[in-house]
Amino acid sequence: MANYKLLINGELVDGASTMEVINPATETVLALCPRADEAQMEAAIQAAKAAFPAWSRRPIAQRRDLLLKLADTMDAQQEDLARVLTQEQGKPLGEATTEVLWTALFIRGIASQELPVKILEDSETMRVEQHRLPLGVVGAIIPWNFPLLLMAFKLPAALLAGNTIIIKPAPTTPLATLKIGEIMAGTFPAGVVNVVTDQNDLGGYLTQHPDVAKISFTGSSATGKKVMASAATSLKRLTLELGGNDAAIVLPGADPASVAQGIFNGAFLNAGQVCIAVKRAYVHESIYDDVVDRLAALAKQVVVGNGLDQGTTMGPIQNRMQYAKLKEFLEIARKDGRIVAGGEAEGQAGFFIRPTIVADIKNSSRLVQEEQFGPVLPVIKYSDPEEALTSANDSPWGLGGSVWGADREKAREIALRMYSGTTWINKHLDIGPAIPVCGAKQSGMGGELAEEGLLEFTQLHIINEAR
Ligand code: NAD
């Protein structure tokens, strides 16, 4: 078994104890992983604090160069990283490779930005400049669905702006991140980046710590609320990227074939474990049966299996808890709707669920109202687009959404009234380093990526000089 280490103050070190990481495709132990204790988390915070003054004074171009070096090394090690990612996370090797490459691409994209000083006034009486200061030590808390890509939403922006960072991956997917930690040990000065793994028990230590200036958290809305309460004690800056329940509204006149394919891709990537996946589809009655049949046909073509096996197009659910939750949703689907494809995969080890299409289900069902975060898609029939829009917006979440139709004017008109951080038209789940993502309502606060994401790691500083 590979030997994984924490990264604290530039050193690769053992954890205070170890924990097992399970391969979700086999339910066997994949690796023993270091498990830090509070003293090690404290050491990481103090190392990040000590490294901050020198790192923040470095010219931005030097900070960028080190980030670009990290991206290049990730590219060079893509095969090893993707293999580890598949084994711990479950996604097929092709998707894992894409995640590694996208992580490098997002690091490059985010690191290409500048933080220029803006001149607000330059007159006979005064000169007013707007600067951006780094915040200090940042805590980056990451979930298990995209362990590397979601880290890349935080790390490059935090470091480019001059902050130092502690990265805390999810306990069920720490390994690829620890591999990146090894690369970073040879890339960044001691203390600038630290990687600390836990058994879901050190997040609170990080979020309440007075020496941590900002928390950038991606995860569930329930944990996000705890993070917010904890961060209040020292009034930390916060970015929260939380859950979602993205609706796709399919308008009358839409092409059933292309819509079914687009919605299928948007719903089942990473076995549906995507914050901005399509989680409920509202389809107009005039094309409902056709779209449902096509979605079912696509679901039946999927090869579910171990992500390392050639030909697998969908891996397992990432962890036992989420698998249990999805089995409950399958029960609800059987009760509240008609399963036209999928259901649980029987008779093999691993947390497998076949892509499941649930037709003839009411909007009030828990499968529609709650976030399933897995490959079980409810498809709801509607007759009036206004009714579909009302249902889409009637949710505590507001992460993403999409509108599908041949009439682009009508699709745009509905899209503009969807209350979400992102609304796509005739597509779903299209992101890039230069496009901000953010959640409305209980899907979060603040944004990541692009200029907005970078500025969230800074403090505004006005220099106002008399003349
Ligand atoms: P989670 O909230 O259980 O865990 C996320 C992270 O928080 C993990 O690293 C975990 O160890 C840590 N954590 C747990 N308790 C903590 C505490 N009290 N204080 C601080 N940190 C703590 O979420 P999850 O189950 O890993 O991820 C699934 C959820 O994440 C879904 O709801 C999904 O929609 C959401 N998600 C959102 C986005 C987004 O960008 N909005 C992206 C991916 C996932």
Distance of CA 410 from the midpoint of ligand 1 (Å): 36
CATH 3.40.309.10 domain range(s) in the chain: 246-432
Residue with CA at minimum distance from ligand 1 atom 14: 200
**What is the band of 344 on the pLDDT scale with cuts at 50, 70, 90?**
confident
Give 242-284 pLDDT, tens digit per residue: 999 999 999 999 999 999 999 999 999 999 999 999 999 999 9
**Active site members:** 241, 275
Distance of CA 200 from the midpoint of ligand 1 (Å): 10
* Average per-residue pLDDT for the chain: 97
Task: Kindly state the helix (H) or strand (E) to which residue 359 belongs, with its residue range.
Answer: strand 353-359
- Best residue for ligand 1 mutational test, from 220, 318, 320, 445 (most atoms within 8 Å of Cβ): 220
Question: Residue 2 has what pLDDT?
Answer: 73
**What is the band of 345 on the pLDDT scale with cuts at 50, 70, 90?**
confident
Give 296-340 pLDDT, tens digit per residue: 999 999 999 999 999 999 999 999 999 999 999 999 999 999 999
Q: What percent of the chain has pLDDT over 70?
A: 100
Distance CA 383, CA 385 (A): 7
Distances (CA, A) of 304 to 70, 209, 284, 313: 33, 43, 30, 6
Atom of ligand 1 nearest to the CA of 437: 40
At 69, the amino acid letter reads K
At 57, the amino acid letter reads R
Q: Which CATH number fits domain 6-242+443-466: 1.10.10.10, 3.30.70.100, 3.40.50.1860, 3.40.605.10?
A: 3.40.605.10
Question: Residue 346 has what pLDDT?
Answer: 73
Question: Residue 1 has what pLDDT?
Answer: 58
Q: Note the Cα 413 to chain centre separation in Å.
A: 28
The whole-model pTM stands at 0.97
A 10 A CB-CB count for 282 gives 25
**What is the band of 90 on the pLDDT scale with cuts at 50, 70, 90?**
very high
Distance of CA 227 from the midpoint of ligand 1 (Å): 10
- Across 53-90, b (16+ Cβ under 10 Å) vs e yields eebbeeeeeebbebbbebbebbeebbeebbbbbbbbbb
Q: Is 34 in the pocket of ligand 1 (CB under 6 A)?
A: no
Distance of CA 437 from the midpoint of ligand 1 (Å): 17
Atom of ligand 1 nearest to the CA of 198: 11
E-only strand ranges, 373-431: 376-382, 397-398, 400-404, 422-425
Q: Is 141 in the pocket of ligand 1 (CB under 6 A)?
A: yes
Residue 347 has pLDDT above 90, yes or no: no
- Span 5-21, mean pLDDT? 98
Residue 208 has pLDDT above 70, yes or no: yes
Query: Tokens at residue 221, please?
Result: 């809305």
Q: What percent of the chain has pLDDT over 90?
A: 98
Distance CA 200, CA 183 (A): 24
CATH 3.40.605.10 domain range(s) in the chain: 6-242+443-466
Q: Is 438 in the pocket of ligand 1 (CB under 6 A)?
A: no
Secondary-structure class of domain 246-432 per CATH: alpha beta
